[in-house]
């Protein structure tokens, strides 16, 4: 009798494994394809061969992008759903995270990784089951180098090249990695700080955001008048929001197009005294970003869509998507 139970258990485990493999294969073959931007956090596991641990842009959810119906019921492993907006390149950008399953997508299902004492107003950590990517022997370190994770090392490349994971999504939001690609557009960021002797602190006054063509073909940018191709996105505290529209709505002209040859780059200087880069603080007042001492920000390049650019001469060369900079604050910190 005991032997029969053991055999039954083994057969049952076999069929469960077979079912899981079959479900995975169905998602890979029929799932909705998106790309998620990421950066690795650990390049190597000596016991399993090379793999890259991945930390996605939608792994850490700031309070302003949380739509949680009940924070009291939010615990570790609570299912949550990241609502996405798909760009013309297939790159998906986080809109918000909710604890209620949406009626339509695209969205990706994850689980809260925050502790039992998580409260409203804190950053929500989410895991989606796609945080490890296995690569060929020796490729993990190579990917780290290309991503610029060692950029503080002497003679390291100035620009970072974003890694975008190819994800197959089921109708219920289950995600499976099916490959990766490198963004053709690299970036670097420098902040110009000014010492405020009265307040005894530094203030971020300007950002120099550099975009570089990392591909082997010409690539075009769209620089809208008034720095409308760029936004300043808060990354932390609840109630702080950008005052400018997330994207320009006016049609671009050929004079706004910048064509970069392979390896070519263009620097954009963004002045934080420009009202476009003001933010709304927790009291509802419009203030310069440098007035928010602890808040983290990212500069985000957002060109017009393919539809908005279809009348331009260089429309086939224009890169469409969104590209965030490293994060920084006004107190002198940059990641």
User: What's the pTM?
Assistant: 0.81
Residue 114 forms part of a structural domain: yes
One domain for residues 141 and 196: no
Residue 207 forms part of a structural domain: yes
- Listed residue (129, 99, 125) closest to 112, CA to CA: 125
pLDDT at 193: 84
Q: How confident is the model at residue 22 (pLDDT cuts 50, 70, 90)?
A: low
Which residue's structure tokens are 């190819």? 166
pLDDT at 19: 47
Q: How many domains does the chain have?
A: 2
Q: How confident is the model at residue 127 (pLDDT cuts 50, 70, 90)?
A: very high
CATH (domain of 214): 2.60.40
CA distance 76 to 73: 10
Q: Name the DSSP letter for residue 89.
A: T
One domain for residues 35 and 174: yes
Of the candidates 182, 217, 236, which is a domain's last residue? 182
pLDDT at 194: 82
CA distances from 219 to 47, 205, 231 (A): 41, 30, 21
CA distance 276 to 162: 26
One domain for residues 161 and 193: no
One domain for residues 57 and 172: yes
Of the candidates 182, 200, 224, which is a domain's last residue? 182
pLDDT at 155: 58
Residue 222 forms part of a structural domain: yes
pLDDT higher than threshold 60 for residue 14: no
Mean pLDDT of the chain: 82
- Listed residue (216, 215, 242, 246) closest to 229, CA to CA: 246
CA distances from 10 to 18, 20, 21, 212 (A): 12, 15, 17, 55
Q: How confident is the model over 254-312, as pLDDT tens digits?
A: 999 999 999 999 999 999 888 888 888 777 788 888 777 778 888 999 999 999 999 99
pLDDT at 9: 55
- pLDDT: which is higher, 187 or 238: 187
Q: How far apart are the first and last CA of the chain?
A: 62
Q: How confident is the model at residue 122 (pLDDT cuts 50, 70, 90)?
A: confident
pLDDT at 105: 78
Beta strand 79-86 pairing with 175-182: unpaired
Q: How confident is the model over 24-73, as pLDDT tens digits?
A: 677 777 788 999 998 766 555 545 557 778 889 899 888 888 898 888 88
CA distance 162 to 213: 12
Residue 209 forms part of a structural domain: yes
Return the percentage of the chain with pLDDT > 70, whole number: 79
Burial 262-294 (b: 16+ CB within 10 A, else e): eeebeebebebeeebbbbebeeeeeebbbebee
pLDDT higher than threshold 80 for residue 1: no
- What does the longest C-alpha to C-alpha distance in the chain come to? 84
pLDDT higher than threshold 80 for residue 18: no
Of the candidates 119, 151, 182, which is a domain's last residue? 182
Q: How confident is the model at residue 5 (pLDDT cuts 50, 70, 90)?
A: low
Range of the domain at 149: 30-182
Name the β-bridge partners of 230. Answer: 301
Q: Name the DSSP letter for residue 179.
A: E
One domain for residues 168 and 232: no
């Amino acid at each position: 009798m005991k032997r029969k139970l053991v055999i039954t258990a083994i057969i049952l485990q076999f069929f469960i494994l077979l079912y899981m493999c079959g479900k995975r294969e169905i998602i890979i073959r029929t799932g909705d394809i998106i790309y998620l931007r990421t950066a690795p956090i650990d390049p190597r596991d000596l016991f399993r061969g090379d793999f890259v641990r991945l930390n996605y842009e939608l792994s850490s959810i700031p309070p302003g992008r949380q739509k949680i119906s009940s924070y009291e019921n939010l615990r570790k492993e609570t299912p949550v759903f990241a609502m996405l907006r798909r760009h013309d390149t297939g790159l998906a950008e986080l809109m918000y995270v909710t604890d209620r399953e949406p009626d339509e997508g695209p969205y990706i299902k994850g689980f809260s990784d925050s502790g039992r004492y998580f409260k409203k107003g804190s950053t929500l950590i989410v895991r989606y089951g796609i945080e490890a990517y296995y690569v060929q022997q020796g490729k993990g370190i190579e990917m780290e180098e290309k991503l610029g994770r060692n950029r503080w090392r002497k003679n390291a490349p100035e620009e970072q090249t974003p890694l975008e994971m190819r994800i197959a999504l089921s109708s219920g939001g289950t995600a499976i990695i099916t490959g990766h690609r490198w963004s053709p557009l690299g970036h670097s960021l420098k902040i110009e700080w000014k010492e405020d002797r009265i307040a005894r602190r530094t203030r971020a006054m300007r950002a120099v955001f550099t975009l570089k063509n990392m591909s082997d073909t010409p690539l075009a940018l769209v620089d809208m008048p008034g720095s409308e191709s760029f936004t300043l996105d808060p990354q932390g505290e609840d109630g702080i929001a950008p005052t400018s529209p997330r994207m320009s709505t006016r049609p671009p002209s050929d004079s706004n197009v910048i064509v970069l040859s392979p390896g070519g780059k263009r620097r954009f200087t963004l002045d934080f005294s420009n009202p476009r880069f003001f933010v709304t603080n927790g009291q509802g007042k419009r203030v310069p970003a440098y007035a928010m001492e602890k808040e983290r920000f990212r500069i985000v390049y957002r060109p017009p869509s393919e539809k908005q650019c279809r009348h331009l001469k260089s429309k086939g060369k224009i890169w469409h998507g969104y590209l965030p900079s490293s994060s920084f604050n006004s107190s002198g910190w940059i990641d």
